Structure 1
Amino acid sequence: MAKKYIDHRMSLYTVTEEIEGALALLLSLGFTNLNDEKQRALFGKVITISDALKTKGISLDAFTEMLGERETEEDQSTRIKVKMAGVLPCPVRVPLLENFEEWLSERDFPFHLDYDLKAASMGIGWLSESLENKSGEELPDLFISAGFDMFFDKSRFGRFREENFFEDLTSFSGLHRDFDQEDIRLKDPRKQYSMIGVVPAVFLVNTKELGNRKVPRSWDDILSDEFKNSISLPVSDFDLFNAILLNIYKSHGEAGIAQLGRNMQKSMHPAEMVKSHMKLMERPSVTIMPYFFTKMVKDGGPMVAVWPEDGAIISPIFLLTKKERKKELQPIVDYLLSKEVGELLSHNGRFPSVNPEVDNRISEENRYQWIGWEFIEKYDLTLLIRRCEEIFQKAMRGEVE
């Protein structure tokens, strides 16, 4: 193994023989005669490294620094490159990135990690476009995103799923007890997709706008004729809106999607929904929103948060990891599934974690709705989402009976 320290009394020959990279650097600095092994041994043994460098006006410290920079560049160029890409839920993106970068700074991985994790509000169009016509080898090594659209497009990611390209690297055997329900099985039976948490959709009811109607307690209530032109949906939150469409389709078919469209009053950002009762505007009776935004509801006001009795529809936060990069990706996946990250998701963002050690602060009676892996296998979700959107929009415009 090469020495790391160069003493000024060391001979030029000793430095070229014992210090890795020194000969190549000296040749680049103009010591061309060192390229001849006999000459290098002949005069290199009678001159010190310091005196040799002085002939070129270079100090030993400067030479040592150049050598270190050269080694770093060579190391970076030969290291395996690992790439992460995807989106993070907006409420937790900044603290999660800060925590991740701090964790990363304390580790010296034998690979170069490149990551691009944008806010979920930007959608995944940028990522989808960047993957156009890419081979499996060209894909990022780790994806993270909520929702069903791109990851379950059978013409894109579907072909990689069929080729068994990904592997679930979750290290714990069972998921959080919150998801230990008969109809909730979040673990991918094909052991390819992973999850770190979920985004639940709940109701925010404006009791002032209800009139003589009862507070809706289920998705069946939301789809009743009583709430025609009374519901606000997070259409701009693509991941959660798509999850709502798919779950309604699974339980009520196209008729349910049409009824949801008829009951739709308008689309609002969740932050607008919370304050809609204070504005002079057409106010929805019920808004459907991510559970996170219920933190903004003031006690004693007309806005009441309701967790659906038949379960909050969830949009899972997925991980996709390349099987061939398992060795490099395992510590990163372990971090993303750690209790520390789980608490950031759950406590900062009200996005329940799948880690069994995390206290999600969700009442045990609260249930979830999840479309399930059988449904995912049955349909091309990207095409089904487009079909549901079409029915929904037509119903909103009164074109569907």
Structure 2
Amino acid sequence: MRTGDLATPSPVLSGDAKGARGWDVLGQVPVPLRHRVRAGVEDLLRARALAGDPPLRVSLPLGQGGRGPFERLAWIRDLDAYPRLLVSSAGANTFNRRFHARHVETGAFEGAQPEGVAAPFVEAGLIDPKGWIGVYALAPYVLLIDHARLGPRPVPRRWADLMEPCYQGQVVFSGWRPEGTRKWRAFNTFLLLCFALDHGREGVARLVRNVPTLLHSTQMPRVAGTDASPGGIHVLPWAQASLCPRPATTSIVWPEDGALAYPLWLTRQRAHARRVAALTDHFHGPALARILDENLYPALCPGRAPRLPAGARLRWPGWEAVRHPASARDLRAACALFHEAAAGQGGPRPCA
């Protein structure tokens, strides 16, 4: 059995330390889950080895800077070079357009979504109607409110509220840029896409005018409720919002129209379904679901009550909308609007 790819921070391929080709399983999960998910997969691989099952070539990179295997997926054209099982916490459009048309749309991939997923996930549209993608968990985006920083303004209750002019300088979402540079290298494009689809480009423009700066999602709970907080409204995953240690001065708002549901998903090649069945079942199964639920990444595992607040709703644009070519154009336009407004504008204004 090959365990080097799991045991070291820098997974070692045969001749390509960061490549995406030739894997049986290539996986990526949110940072807070990486060590526990890797440990579970490693236990499964050891059990397979003891049972005499064929070894699998598996990579679940921890991430160590630079371009990794997921950044190289878009350059793969041949089905044989693509991972047999892909587990992703990246956006839903991982496939390049030509590969998608040639292989995904012709039925070479399946999500192996089990039957019996709980109603809130089904009602939100998280089950892929095409069956190409299987969602095993999600990261719900909520609002972490810093009441002192928000001041006399009303606490927002719906996503559309964030476009109101009185929240200028108040809305902070996740992003990163190299130290000493002005342009944001990475930021929450899922939020921008949702606003573009729901409210058009004018809605995106109204939202980004209210953004004073960006923070990494792990920084937000550290600064919310302190003098270092750059805004009164932080948009971040529920798992990170729950870590804020100042409940007396902060609160979590689950929007009335639903937390934005960011899917954690997988897909496998149908021709290799049997080879990677054990790993597929693991990601859809109860052992991992317990870890996911404990860490506030609600699992879609059948037979489990959804790990959601009572009456909570979820909001997902829908697989057809996300895949539509127009969505890619809308997102590019939304990102351009964000970069134009990244410097922010001063002066609070009254709410309508």
TM-score range, shorter chain: 0.7 to 0.9
1:94 & 1:281 partners in 2: Cα distance? 30
- Deviation of 1:123 after TM superposition, in Å, equals 9.1
* Correspondence for 1:200 among 136, 140, 159: 140
Partner of 1:71: none
Partner of 1:169: 112
For residues 193-250 of structure 1, the C-alpha deviation after alignment (integer angstroms, 9 at most, x for no partner) is 1111111110000000122111111101112111112111012499982221121111
Partner of 1:135: 78
* Correspondence for 2:240 among 293, 307, 321: 293
1:121 & 1:346 partners in 2: Cα distance? 27
* Correspondence for 1:366 among 304, 307, 312: 312
What fraction of aligned residue pairs are identical, expressed as a percent? 22
1:355 match: secondary structure: coil
Residue 54 (structure 2) pairs with residue 111 (structure 1): yes
* Contact kept in structure 2, 1:200 and 1:315, CA below 8 Å: yes
- Deviation of 1:129 after TM superposition, in Å, equals 2.0
Distance 1:134 1:378, change over 3 A: closer
Q: Tell me, which stretches of 5 or more residues in structure 1 are unaligned?
A: 1-80
Give me the TM-score of the superposition, normalised by structure 2: 0.81
Q: Return 126-135 or 161-170, whichever deviates more.
A: 126-135
Partner of 2:298: 352
Give me the TM-score of the superposition, normalised by structure 1: 0.72
Distance 1:179 1:205, change over 3 A: same
The one-letter code of the counterpart of 2:135 is M
The one-letter code of the counterpart of 1:96 is V
The one-letter code of the counterpart of 1:246 is L
How does 1:38-57 map onto structure 2 within 5 Å?
A: none
2:252 & 2:271 partners in 1: Cα distance? 45
When the two chains are superposed, the root-mean-square deviation of aligned CA atoms in Å is 2.7
1:291 & 1:226 partners in 2: Cα distance? 25
Partner of 1:315: 262
1:199 & 1:265 partners in 2: Cα distance? 24
Partner of 1:91: 32
* Contact kept in structure 2, 1:231 and 1:265, CA below 8 Å: yes
Going by fraction, where is helix more abundant, 1 or 2? Answer: 1
Distance 1:151 1:111, change over 3 A: same
For residues 328-377 of structure 1, the C-alpha deviation after alignment (integer angstroms, 9 at most, x for no partner) is 12222111111111111111x21111113234431231111101022134
1:314 & 1:261 partners in 2: Cα distance? 20
User: How many equivalent pairs are there?
Assistant: 315
Residue 277 (structure 2) pairs with residue 330 (structure 1): yes
The one-letter code of the counterpart of 1:201 is Y
